[in-house]
Copies of this chain bind each other. A is one copy, B any other.
Amino acid sequence: MLSKNKIKYLRSLKLKKFRQKYNNFVVEGEKIVLEMLKSQAVEIENIICSENWAHEFEHILHPFQAQILLAKPQELAQISSLKTAPEVLIIAQQLSSADTIQAKDGLSLYLDRIQDPGNFGTILRIADWFGIKNVFCSTDSADLYNPKVIQATMGAFLRVKVCKIAFDSLKAGHPQLPVYGTVLEGENVFKTRLSENGLIVIGSEGKGIAPEIRKHITQPIAIPAHPDGGAESLNAAVATGIVCATFRNFHTQKQANV
C-alpha cells in the first residue's frame, strides 16, 4: 500500500548520503519504536506499520494519526535492513548536532575511529547502562544514524548525547581534564586510582588509539590478560564495558568505605 516512490525513498535511507540529504533516519522493531513514541525525544516523520500492528497499538498511535502509513508484509521486507522484517518502523528527524555538550562533569567517552556499527551502538548502550551522558567521537567514526548503529544501541541514542569532534578541539576546551586511554602497556585498571571526572578514550578496532591522541593521555590503563590466555586483544565494546564497570565500581566502593 506504499507507493513505489515511497519505497524507493525509504530504501535510500540505508545510505548515509541520503540520510544527510533528508536529515532523517530509520528505526525498526516494536520495542525500540514504542520507546521512541513514548520518549518524545525525536521528531517523528512517519510510522510505517502493518494493519495488524496499527490496530494492536491504536491507543499509542492515536496522537500520530497523520504520520501513519500502512504497509504490506512484502513492503516492510523491501524497506527493512533486518534479516526478519519488523511489523513497524519509524522515520525520524536526526537530532541537532549536540555541539554544546561539555566533558567537564562526570565521565565521558571519546571514541577514536570506531568503525564497526555494532561496536559503536553497543558502546552507546554501555554508556547508557553506566550513566555516562556524553559520548564524543572522532569525525571519521561510524555514522550514528547507520541502521546497524541505531539497532545496536537498543534505544540508548535517545538518552546518550553523541558529538563528533576532533580530539584537539575537545581537549582545548578542557585542558585540565584527566584523560584515560586503554593501551597495551597501561597500568592495570583494577589497581588504578580512577577519578570521578574524566575522559576515557577508546581506540579503533584494528589500530588502537592514534599517536596524536595518545600523547594527551594522562593515565594509560589496561585490562590484564590471564597468563594462560591466548587472544591478542579484546573487542573494543567489551573493553569499554570492563573499563566503565571498573570506574563505576571504584567510586561505589570508595563511598561505601567512607
Contact = CB atoms under 8 A, between A and B. Distances in A.
B131 A229 contact: yes
B238 A223 contact: no
A159 B229 CA distance: 9
A231 B190 contact: no
A106 B61 CA distance: 53
A155 B235 CA distance: 13
Given A159-B230, A190-B253, A242-B242, A235 B125 contact: yes
Contact of A156 (B230, B237, B240): B230
Contacts of A11: none
A233 B154 CA distance: 9
Nearest to A106: B228
Contacts of A229: 128-131
Contacts of A246: 245
Interface size bracket, A side: 35 or more
Contacts of A132: 226
A248 interface: yes
B226 A129 contact: yes
Interface in A53-68: none
A208 interface: no
Contacts of A253: 190
Interface string A79-123: 000000000000000000000000000000000000000100010
13 contacts: A122-B235, A129-B223, A129-B225, A129-B229, A131-B227, A131-B228, A133-B228, A152-B235, A154-B233, A224-B252, A234-B241, A237-B238, A238-B241
